[in-house]
Structure 1
Amino acid sequence: MKIVKHSGNIVDFNRDKLKNSLLKSGANKMIVEEVLKNIESQIYEGISTKKIYKLAFALLKKSSNSHAARYNLRAAIQLLGPAGFFFEKFIARLFISEDYLAQTNLFLSGKCVGHEVDVAIMKNNVIEMVECKFHSGKDANSDVKVPMYILSRFNDLKDRSHLIYTKNDKILGCWIVTNNRFTSDAILFAKCSGLKLLSWDYPEKNSLSKKIDNNQLYPITCLTTLTISEKDKLMVLDIILVREILDTPETLEKIGLSPNRIKNVLKEASELCKYI
């Protein structure tokens, strides 16, 4: 059976690929098989992957909110927009979880011009800049022009002293992080130029998606028990991660949730963070 991807490409329906994505939600094999059978009974020639995703999400939600939240992870990252400001905060937290110091939204003077730097990180006294390329659409990839441009900015900054953590900090490395993917040319250029890349599926064994799972860095945008408006209010209060709700449950009351809804949100958050 042929299905239509987000890009418009027509491909064969891949049951194993769908099964693997369902298993990653944390649902057990019995639930996954039930969901697969239900989906297979409803799909038709030419159905979009978007409709299949919505159907799978709804079926998982019936079994567990946290399963649906985990399945919704990539879409949830795309909700850290629209401009990517909250994505930068999310990435800073990712590095902090790996024992870095991190600062966001800096303006630093280069040799030639000034630059806005999304995130500055430090570990073992080595300071690096992190540039975040946020895409609200699933199919927008970062091509070779992205690392070429960011390399020029890094080169303008690296030989200067900056006030970041001390008065004479040097930027010794550069990361580029995206919520989508890099093209093959972008990866080749970055490797050749000494830039570090992190995307949804790259590097294969330590990608953004794997880091999120391994460190339980689930964004609040994946929770199914909160509305989009409520998620936005929490992010304005600097609550970006699900675990931060568990650490500061009083913020749910601040945004106007009833005691019963607070109980449901905390239940989903707790189940999600116990996924691993």
Structure 2
Amino acid sequence: MKYVTKADGSRQPFDRKRVRRTLENFGLDPEDADRIADDIEEAVPDGIRTAAVLRMIRTRARAVRPAVAHRTNLRRALALLRPKPDFEEFVRILLREHGYRVKAGCVLAGRCGEHEVDAIAQKDGTTLFVEVKHHVSYHRMTGLDEGRIARAIVEDLQEGFRSGRCIVSIDGALIVCNTKLSEHAKRYATCRGIEHIGWDYPVERNLRTMIEETQSYPVTIVSGVTRSVTAKLAAAGILTAKAVAYGDAATIAHDSGIPLQEVLLIAERARKILEPELRRPPG
């Protein structure tokens, strides 16, 4: 069995399924993904760093689908967003794509104090306040403190509602972050009923899968989009690759102050990233 070395220095078994999934997420068809995954599994030396594996995946994927050259790593793309307001608004967009009714952040009164929340999300009869956490270093873990604070806020808001101070009946909390969760944070969240959406947690509905299922990629997925351009697009209400790919380029240029030719270039690259995946057969 071959092992790979993660960014934190730990080792784990080489995962061919993960390589294949990454290739399909780049827009390759199942046959090409299988073939390249087999090639990489055969070629990687034991102990190779995960970053080197990703470079191998990108190089081989680019040979089959050149549009891969226009796409950056999703974890890096999320890290490139400004925590406020960009990532917060991106999370609100993503939750709406998954059927939540979402209101922007506000201040809610608890029994003992006021609490500023990043959003209120409703789905299937449940109302959650949303806490958004963003780390520029996507290798950093989201720890226990966020869950403990959220638990205390839930209790205060529920007591506030019963006493007539809070106008919204809150059922629980949802913490959304762009990194992995520590094992301690997972255990506490499970025990206390705090919902989490992290990079790879929970397995069946995490940040990565939620983005890929709806192709709600941040605009920073497009390689070459600078922080300055990202900020200007965000100010114009453009936070996803879909919005720039299929929006009106002239309107986006006018509203953002970005030259039309640059908007057209970003839109063209975004479409090349999105359209192969849109044509991919279900399943």
Summarize deviations over 1:44-93 as a string: whole Å, max 9, x none: 77654324424533553454355456672222122223x35322111111
Task: Spell out the pairing of 1:146-185 with structure 2 (5 A cutoff).
Answer: 146-161=146-161, 168-185=167-184
Task: Spell out the pairing of 1:123-134 with structure 2 (5 A cutoff).
Answer: 123=123, 126-134=126-134
> Take 2:144 and 2:123, find their aligned partners in 1: how far apart are those partners?
28
Q: 1:71–1:24: structure 2 CA closer, same or farther, 3 Å change rule?
A: farther
Structure 2, unmatched stretches of 5+, are: none
Give yes or no for contact 2:92–2:119 (8 Å, CA) kept in 1.
yes
The TM-score, its normalising length taken from structure 2, stands at 0.78
User: Which structure has more helix as a fraction of its residues?
Assistant: 2
Structure 1, unmatched stretches of 5+, are: none
Give yes or no for contact 1:39–1:55 (8 Å, CA) kept in 2.
no
> Take 1:269 and 1:13, find their aligned partners in 2: how far apart are those partners?
27
Task: Spell out the pairing of 1:48-59 with structure 2 (5 A cutoff).
Answer: 48-59=49-60
Q: How many matched pairs? A: 270
Report the secondary structure of 1:171's partner residue: coil
User: What is the Cα deviation at residue 171 of structure 1?
Assistant: 1.7
Give yes or no for contact 1:35–1:60 (8 Å, CA) kept in 2.
no
Give yes or no for contact 2:25–2:212 (8 Å, CA) kept in 1.
no
User: What is the Cα deviation at residue 34 of structure 1?
Assistant: 5.3
Structure 1 counterpart of 2:142: 142
Give yes or no for contact 1:201–1:207 (8 Å, CA) kept in 2.
yes
The TM-score, its normalising length taken from structure 1, stands at 0.79
Q: 1:152–1:67: structure 2 CA closer, same or farther, 3 Å change rule?
A: same
> Take 1:275 and 1:95, find their aligned partners in 2: how far apart are those partners?
24
Give yes or no for contact 1:67–1:272 (8 Å, CA) kept in 2.
no
User: What is the Cα deviation at residue 17 of structure 1?
Assistant: 3.9
Matched, 1:249 2:272: no
AA in 2 matched with 1:157? L
> Take 2:71 and 2:173, find their aligned partners in 1: how far apart are those partners?
30
Structure 1 counterpart of 2:265: 261
Give yes or no for contact 1:225–1:265 (8 Å, CA) kept in 2.
no
Structure 1 window deviating more from structure 2 (139-148 vs 122-131): it is: 122-131
> Take 1:205 and 1:156, find their aligned partners in 2: how far apart are those partners?
30
> Take 1:33 and 1:115, find their aligned partners in 2: how far apart are those partners?
52
User: What is the Cα deviation at residue 239 of structure 1?
Assistant: 0.8
Give yes or no for contact 2:198–2:207 (8 Å, CA) kept in 1.
yes
Structure 1 runs of 4+ aligned residues shifted over 6 Å read 38-41, 43-46
